[in-house]
Amino acid sequence: MRIGIVGLHYGHIGGILASALSAPNAELVGVVEADKSLCTRYLGERSIPHYASIDELLADAHPELVIEGLRHDEKTELVEKCAAAGAHVLLDKPLCRTLEDWTRMRDAVRTHGIQLSMWFTSRSYPPFIALRQIIESGELGELVSLISTHPHKLRRETATPWYFDDEIYTGTFHDLAGHGVDQIRWLTGAEFKGVHAQWTCKRFTDAPQLIDHAQASFSLDDGSLATLTADWLTPQASPSFGDTRFIIMGTHGSAHLRAYAQDQLYIVSEAKGAYEAQLPADSGSVFVQELIEAIESGQTPFINTRDVFATSYAGLKAQESAKLGGQFIALDDMEL
C-alpha cells in the first residue's frame, strides 16, 4: 500500500513511522515536512520524495494511506483533504481540537467512506493485552467499576509551547486520557452514555495557564461506571514520562494494572485466587501491517473509524462538562 507522511513534528510519529517502515506491504511514497532536521531524524538517508503541501502529496504521489504527526489544529484539514482524495488516514491521538472539528471530520469520512484509524499504543502494550485476555475469559465476571489514571511529565521551560495556547491545543483530558477512554470501550465492549467532569490548575498557574489536572466519570450502556484522570503533575524525578494505573472491579474478580514506569498486572479472582499475570510480547510493530491487510481485504481494522470518533467524542464532551463546572452531559449516538 502506498503511504504518505504529513508532519513529523508532533506526538508518536516515531512509533507510527517505525511500524510503517517494518511493514512488508507498505511503500513510503512522499512526505510533507518543512523541517529538514526532522526528516533526517526520522527518515535518515531514505530516498522519499518531499512535497510542499498536502495537496501536492495527494495529487502527485497518490497515497492510499496517510500517517501524520501534526499539531491538533492542523488535523481537520488533513482528514478532509485525504477523505476527498479517497486516502485512508492513520492519526496520532487526539483526533482533533474541538467538537466543531470533530463534526467536520465525521462528515468528511462519512461522505467519502474512508477508513480512519488511530495509534492507540496501549492496545498493543503487554499489560493491556493480558488484561483484555483475562476479561474475555470471564474470570473477572461482569465488569462494574473501572478507574484509569494518566499522569504525565511537563516543564514549562522545555514543553511544546503551544500546549499553553488553547487555539491550538485540544485540552489536557482529551489529549492525555485518550488511551484510557479507548481502553474502557475496548475492555467492556460498551458505549459511553453520559459524563460529568472537573478540572483545575494548581501547578502551571502563571499566564499563559495550562489545566494540569482533569477528572471525568462516565456511565456506560452496560451499567458499568468508569473514572479517568489526566494530569501534567508527574515529578521530574520519575524514571518514566507517565505511570498509568488501571483498577477494574468485576463481580468475580479484580485487576490492578501498572504500565510504563513498571509493567505489572495483578489479578484476584474467585476462580484462581491472587496472582501476577504473565505478560505477552508487545505487538505495536505490526500495527501498520495489519491495518493495511484489513483495508485491502475489506475487513474492520483493529482500531476502526467508530473507535476513533467515539473516543474523541467522549473526551471532548468531558471537557465541555468541566467548562460548565461539572454539569452532567448525556452522550447521544454519534450517527456515524
Q: Are 120 and 301 in contact (CB under 8 A)?
A: no
Q: Are 314 and 125 in contact (CB under 8 A)?
A: no
Q: What is the pLDDT of residue 336?
A: 64
Facing residues of 245 across strands?
A: 149, 258
Residue in 176, 187, 134 with CA at minimum distance from that of residue 154: 176
Contacts of 182 (CB under 8 A, 6+ apart): 118, 120, 122, 123, 303, 307, 311
Facing residues of 47 across strands?
A: none
Cell of 150: 494518566
- Complete domains list, the chain, with CATH: 2-114 (3.40.50.720), 122-281+314-330 (3.30.360.10)
Q: What is the pLDDT of residue 166?
A: 94
CA distance 12 to 6: 13
CA distance 147 to 204: 25
HSE-CB at 230 with a 13 A cutoff on CA atoms is 23
Residue in 91, 87, 85 with CA at minimum distance from that of residue 72: 91
Burial 217-244 (b: 16+ CB within 10 A, else e): bbbbeeebebbbbbbbebeeeeeeebbb
Map residue 264 onto helix, strand or coil: strand
The pTM is what? 0.96
User: What string of pLDDT tens digits covers the 336 residues of the chain?
Assistant: 999 999 998 868 999 999 999 999 999 999 999 999 999 999 988 999 999 999 999 999 999 999 999 999 999 999 999 999 999 999 999 999 999 999 999 999 999 999 999 999 999 999 999 999 999 999 999 999 999 999 999 999 999 999 999 999 999 999 999 999 999 999 999 999 999 999 999 999 999 999 999 999 999 999 999 999 999 999 998 888 888 999 999 999 999 999 998 999 999 999 999 999 999 999 999 999 999 999 999 999 999 999 999 999 999 999 999 999 999 999 987 766
User: Can you tell me which residue has the cell 489536572?
Assistant: 213
